[in-house]
Structure 1
Amino acid sequence: MNHVEEERVKNTYKYSEVSHFQMGDGFTRNMEPVKTGRIFLAAVAANLSAFVVGTCLGWTSPVGPKLKAEDTSDSPLSKPINAEEDAWISSLIAIGALIAPFVAGPLADRIGRKWVLLSSSVFFVIASILNMVATDVVVLYCSRLIQGFGVGFVMTVTPMYVGEIATDSVRGATGSLMQLFIVSGILYVYAIGPYVSYQALQWCCIVTPIIFDAVFFFMPESPYYFAGKGRKTDALRSLQFLRGQSAEAVHDEMAEIQANVEEAMANKGTIMDLFKNSGNRKALFICAGLIAFQQLSGINVVLFNSQSIFASANTGLDPAVATIIIGCVQVASSGLTPIVADRLGRKIMLLTSASVMTLGLAALGAFFYMQLEVGDISSVAWMPVPALIVYNIVYCTGFGPLPWAVLGEMFPANIKSVASSMVASTCWILGFVVTRWYPALDALGSYYAFWLFAIFCVVAFFFVLFVVMETKGLSLQEIQDRLNGKTK
């Protein structure tokens, strides 16, 4: 860096009361508009990793019937899998995703958010190769565990990266993109899986992380990470790219980022700091609670077993087609969230999501109860499809994306990676419990499982109503002030 550039960077970080920023008429000379399109470009590129996650989450729905079929001509295994093996294949991804955040969080602070996300693709590629060469169910167990590591990397670091590159006005929208890309990845395998061979599906899955790396490689690192490493020139360039503005125009924001990072570095957070500070405790309780209810709503059961659920319901509609319909509904409804998240606010959307999910799950449970106890269900054979459509719409506009968006904005910089690791692990502990033991509950009667999920959604409604704070339109510092009881 030459002398002129050093001086420019140094001047960019200095506050000046009589600087060239103020004109005699009281207006600011450099009122350059923020080019939010660049923020969304970087956020979309980062969330291509979430698309890959979606292919992993939806993988068992089309693959499960192939692995369980008596005819093993389209299965890599020599014999059909049983219910126990099916449960492990569905749930082991959660174990990998549970462990990974404790590596991904610290690694994001050491080598950067960008490189951790790029490295997640290694896990997905290895897992796809194992799926291709598998001849024993143990190999599929290993591949699902490795997929889980990649999922844990992505879902820990993506909210962190997107939360740090966005402005206050679009953080809710950009934070909601992850759910849209996850369900798009799910739809991808739902639509392809039933109509291609097992091996062809693995090739379709292996290309997605490669495309993500090719696109995201050209995006900037978070300016917060660069500032924390003392790389002020790189931080300034990153912020200029993301805002589409000159160095002078991003002066105030860059100075605020630098001040926040310096304070965070001076007060380097540990896991104990999550519990010592009342604001951090409240943030952890809110984020962990939202993530817990996200999993206890039964979403992974629906995602992993959609085709089997429709086959059991015997609605007369091809289970593969019904599953694709659900996938389309998920994508369409998730597309609404970035548009309305910063208009309606997080809280009202979460309340709506919890209440309507309750109705959808209760209706689904009632259908399976009548199927088992009454027998003749011809008059209500239509019920499962609209019940799951309603459930998926409100999940994808509320409890799907918003807990992750809230996680990206609730914690101060010095403990964000630690907090993200803990909350992401909470997600996958419960994800494993729900998916691993759903078959046992289903054996007693599917209605037990869906009614239990409905009860959890009722509890979630009151949790949001009385515990969750609204973050719409607040800066990261204002959120911290409110969490700590500081008001202006």
Structure 2
Amino acid sequence: MKVYGVFGNGSKVNQVVIAVLINLPVFVYGASIGWLSPMSLLLQSDQSPSGVPLSDAVISWIAAVPYLVCIFFDFIMAVISDRLGRKVALIFISVANATSWILLLVSTETWALILARALIGIPMAGAMVTCPMYTKEISDDSIRGSLGCLVIMFQTIGNLFLYVIGDMLSYRTILWICLAVPIAHVIVFVPMPESPSYLVKKGKTKAAVAALAWLKCKSETDNEILEELDLIIKEQKNDEMTSSNFLLKTLVTDKLLSRAFTIAMAVTLAREVCGAIPVLNFAGEIFSSASEGSTVIFSPNQQAMVLGAVQVVGAVLASSVVEKAGRKPLLFLTSLISGLSMCALATWFLLRDYQIYAPTWIPLLTLCLCIFCDASGLQPVSMVLTGEIVSYKYRSTVMAATMSVSSVADFLQMLAFKPLANMIGIHVAFYFFGIICILMAVYVIIQIPETKGRTLEDIHKDLSKGIVRVDKEAKKSVQTAL
């Protein structure tokens, strides 16, 4: 029987189907992040489900605690993905998602709210560690970038989904809807294949061939399937030639891997410290503050919905153009525009503090630009790039290490954003975010290679050239000094 059925020999439809299912838990994670924007206004109001309005300190902990948990689960999810498989790890993510929503349904006590949000740290880690790896390993090179961008698209759609229903439906109805999605995902995903790279690593060659055949809609005896299998085996044999079993140590001591790791860390940190995280979590409050004394048409929640819609458009655009425009131009342009928009927003708030009132549409416009750039370049390209510049053996370790550092940054942002904004002015935070983005744009030009449609071997040749050039310059400097 032909494995490709009605879709035709060589169709990529199965890769698209499984990539969508891989990223469904990311949709739920995105909804969890978006949940806080409308719910923080509700929880701090007289109509709070908790019975009493929650303080700024409690809301800050509710916002920050997922990132604290994520710091540890970045590595735990990497271990689960490597030892038990990408598929098992993905199902575990959905179970954690479901448990969080169940806890919110069971209790509205402060401890329950914080614990439920703490559980979101698990899918948060999985969304940024397991899902990108899994997607990369089931994708052809020709669509690797587009499918890799789905992680951000689903996250942004989840954000927007919660912004919309958060403004329309009751507190408990929202929770029931969000609980249904991870339960459905577990049921649907069970028949899906495991990553071929993982199967090869575990010595399950026949299962890997079957998975490749299903993914590529080809016969198991097709030459392309066998060639792809040989490439996977070759990559993993090259990994085994590394003498050290302590992967983090190798990432620092090996010059090639160290450069790849540095690039991955830089793009990840820039993605997380561009201002999007506090904006998405506190969108309603930011717009509420910006709308004081003005006659805006939309409520804070409705303005947050506009922000969410712009974010989705940006993510869809990224998935559409990343294979045409390339990683490097897209990352540079979005970093620069995001930085300039953040600086413009900071200036708007600073002028208002001095009783100089600029047009009231500036906050909405600049935040939309920032979120659009974040969703169309900073987030998806950094995720795709990190998966492309390291081999199978180091992929989960690099993902976990970069995400753990970024989780620390996110935790500190969530915990400190509101108190610091009240203490020293919100404009200081936005100037900081803007400068980070502009520095990232400069870094892209100087350090980051193009990876679009290229094999790992070709990408590493580019990285090696940079290392050789740096070594020659260092030797020249030493000789000159002597």
TM above 0.5: yes
315-324 vs 175-184, greater mean Cα deviation: 315-324
Taking the aligned partners of 2:435 and 2:119, their CA distance within structure 1 comes to 33
Shift of 1:486: 9.7
Structure 2 unaligned blocks of 5 or more: 1-7, 468-482
Taking the aligned partners of 2:235 and 2:338, their CA distance within structure 1 comes to 39
1:133 alignment counterpart: 106
Once the two structures are superposed, the pairs formed by residues 210-359 of structure 1 within 5 Å of their partners are 210-246=183-219, 247-249=221-223, 250-265=225-240, 267=242, 270-314=247-291, 315=294, 316=296, 317-359=298-340
1:291-333 CA-to-partner distances (Å, cap 9, x unmatched) read: 1011111111111011111111115121121111111111112
1:367 alignment counterpart: 348
Taking the aligned partners of 1:475 and 1:49, their CA distance within structure 2 comes to 29
Q: Is residue 440 of structure 2 the alignment partner of residue 460 of structure 1?
A: yes
Taking the aligned partners of 1:269 and 1:223, their CA distance within structure 2 comes to 24
* Contact kept in structure 1, 2:14 and 2:215, CA below 8 Å: yes
Taking the aligned partners of 1:217 and 1:197, their CA distance within structure 2 comes to 32
Taking the aligned partners of 1:486 and 1:80, their CA distance within structure 2 comes to 56
* Contact kept in structure 2, 1:273 and 1:415, CA below 8 Å: no
Taking the aligned partners of 2:191 and 2:309, their CA distance within structure 1 comes to 30
* Contact kept in structure 1, 2:26 and 2:123, CA below 8 Å: no
Taking the aligned partners of 1:326 and 1:419, their CA distance within structure 2 comes to 31
* Contact kept in structure 1, 2:64 and 2:415, CA below 8 Å: yes
Which of 85, 88, 91 matches 1:115? Answer: 88
Shift of 1:248: 2.0
1:73-100 CA-to-partner distances (Å, cap 9, x unmatched) read: xx1x131111111111111110111111
* Contact kept in structure 2, 1:101 and 1:152, CA below 8 Å: yes
Taking the aligned partners of 2:342 and 2:443, their CA distance within structure 1 comes to 19
Taking the aligned partners of 1:79 and 1:215, their CA distance within structure 2 comes to 40
Shift of 1:265: 4.3
Amino acid at match of 1:394: C
Amino acid at match of 1:312: S
Amino acid at match of 2:407: W
36-45 vs 336-345, greater mean Cα deviation: 36-45
Which of 427, 431, 441 matches 1:451? Answer: 431
Taking the aligned partners of 1:469 and 1:88, their CA distance within structure 2 comes to 39
1:191-238 CA-to-partner distances (Å, cap 9, x unmatched) read: 001222221121122112123223332321110011111111100000
* Contact kept in structure 2, 1:228 and 1:265, CA below 8 Å: no
Q: Is residue 43 of structure 2 the alignment partner of residue 67 of structure 1?
A: yes
Taking the aligned partners of 2:309 and 2:187, their CA distance within structure 1 comes to 26
1:410-440 CA-to-partner distances (Å, cap 9, x unmatched) read: 1111222211110111221111111111112
Structure 1 unaligned blocks of 5 or more: 1-31
Query: Kindly, what percent of the aligned residue pairs are identical?
Result: 27
Taking the aligned partners of 1:463 and 1:212, their CA distance within structure 2 comes to 39
Taking the aligned partners of 1:468 and 1:320, their CA distance within structure 2 comes to 38
* Contact kept in structure 2, 1:53 and 1:185, CA below 8 Å: yes
Taking the aligned partners of 1:386 and 1:295, their CA distance within structure 2 comes to 21
Shift of 1:33: 6.2
1:48 alignment counterpart: 24
- TM-score of the superposed pair, with normalisation by structure 1: 0.89
- SS of the aligned residue for 1:245 comes to coil
Inter-CA distance 65–47: structure 2 relative to 1 (3 Å threshold): same
Which of 454, 464, 470 matches 1:474? Answer: 454
Taking the aligned partners of 2:388 and 2:186, their CA distance within structure 1 comes to 26
- SS of the aligned residue for 2:120 comes to helix
Shift of 1:460: 1.0
Q: Is residue 366 of structure 2 the alignment partner of residue 387 of structure 1?
A: yes
Shift of 1:485: 3.7
2:379 alignment counterpart: 400
- SS of the aligned residue for 1:230 comes to coil
Shift of 1:370: 2.4
- SS of the aligned residue for 1:380 comes to coil
Amino acid at match of 1:157: T
1:30-85 CA-to-partner distances (Å, cap 9, x unmatched) read: xx96322222221111011111110111111011011100233xx1x131111111
